[in-house]
Amino acid sequence: MATYSFPILGNSEILSCLRELDVPLTESDLLRPAHETLRPCYETLVEIFFGRTLEEICAPDEKAMETLDYPELYTEAIPNLAFIRAMQDLARGCGIDDFGLKDIFKPEYGRTRRNLSAFINFAKFREERLIEYEEALAKEAEEERRYREELELHEKLKAEIAEAERELAEYDEEALAREIEELEREVEAATLEANRVEAEAVAAQNELQSLESEGEQLRQHMENLELEKASAASEEAHLIEQERQEAEKLAEQVKHLKMMEEDLREAIEIMKSIEQKRAQTEEEKLKLRHVEEEIASKEEEMWKMDAKIEQLQRQKEAMDEKMTRMREQGKLKIEAAETALRQAKEELAAAEARATNHKAQEEMNKKEVAEIEASMKKMVDEHNRDMNELMRAYEELRDTVVEYHSELFEAMEAMSARGMQREREIANAASPGGSSILSTPPSAMSLDNY
């Protein structure tokens, strides 16, 4: 990949060049760059270098949007992505290979100054090449115009040739031959006439030249005569005047030489002073250059210190806000602690009062508890005795019930056996013609018999 070198410009030169380009950026925005203030600057530069509006550059592809399931989710992301890509392309073209999201969303002073220096250097290069580009475009437009004119002429000639061929096709060969012979005769006659006229013109021109040469000779001869006459009359006066003028010239030349000598001395002195002043000027320029470099360095340090001061000021404001919140919270906590302390003191006093009352009550309660415990012990003993007696009575009752049940069971078995024997006896003693004894319930008979 090709790399380009560009100078890092000072802040004043950066701001001046940006004003010429109508790019919105202030000195405070450059010293303390932020996304909100730096992005409009970058957007304007993109529009200038790409020759299109930001809406055209960041417009999403409709066909691609149709393929998305939820295109409304990308309405902001796609223009931002297009702008970032455009900025990266511009930065690479200007010689910056590490331009990224941080330069847009979290810019720093040093990198911002470097980026703007590269963009301005590219803008100057573009302006120089733009003149050549416009000249090439004008030349191309002129060649295009000439090509169109030649093309129109070509089409016109083709139409004329076609027309001539069409007219030629309409004539027959004999008529064409006659017309050609007639035209040849006319051309031959016109040629003879032209030759005759040309010969006459040449003869007239030669005669005119000879007359003009004779007139010139006569005129020169008259002028020579006049000159000789005038020179003969004024030659003597001219010689006298010439001697006087030569004497005056010599005196003037001597005076002029003296003045030139004085001027030369003054010029030598002036040259010496100029050399001294030039040496002093060079020294002053060198000192001025060092001072300017030192001023630029100090200015940069001052800007960095301003940025640091601004950052510390923001930190101080944040700490002040934090201290204010902590003071308010501490005040609230102190008030709550004081309130809790008052309540605790009140509760302690009440508890102490209750404790005093509770001591007497406790003595009484102890007595009552002793009495209750004695009563409870007595009741437990009585309960145990009652329970023991109840258990003994229960066991006796259980033995009695068991014995009663066994006797009752034996009696019932004996009664059942006697009843069955009695029924068998009655059945055997019954007559055949009498009423059946089976019609009388055996239980009733058993009860009557027992």
Letter for the amino acid at 418?
R
Task: Compute the distance between CA of residue 376 and CA of residue 383 in angstroms, rounded to an integer.
Answer: 10
CB 15 within 8 A of CB 25: yes
11-146 architecture in CATH?
Orthogonal Bundle (1.10)
Six-digit token pair at 258?
Answer: 């003296």
Task: Give residue limits of the domains in the chain.
Answer: 11-146, 171-338
| Of 86, 93, 115, the residue nearest 103 (C-alpha) | 115
| 0.75 surpassed by pTM | no
Is the distance from CB of 14 to CB of 117 less than 8 angstroms? yes
Token pair listed for 19: 């004003």
Residuewise pLDDT in 10s, the chain (450 residues)? 445 578 888 899 999 999 988 888 988 888 999 999 999 999 999 999 888 888 888 887 777 777 877 878 877 888 888 899 999 999 998 889 899 899 999 999 999 999 999 999 988 888 888 888 888 888 888 888 888 888 888 888 888 888 877 776 665 566 667 777 777 787 777 677 767 767 776 776 777 676 666 656 656 765 665 676 566 556 656 766 766 776 677 667 667 667 766 766 776 777 677 677 777 777 877 887 777 677 767 767 776 776 677 677 777 777 778 778 878 887 888 887 788 788 878 888 887 788 777 777 778 878 888 888 888 888 888 888 888 888 888 888 888 888 878 888 788 888 878 888 887 888 787 655 544 444 444 444 343 443
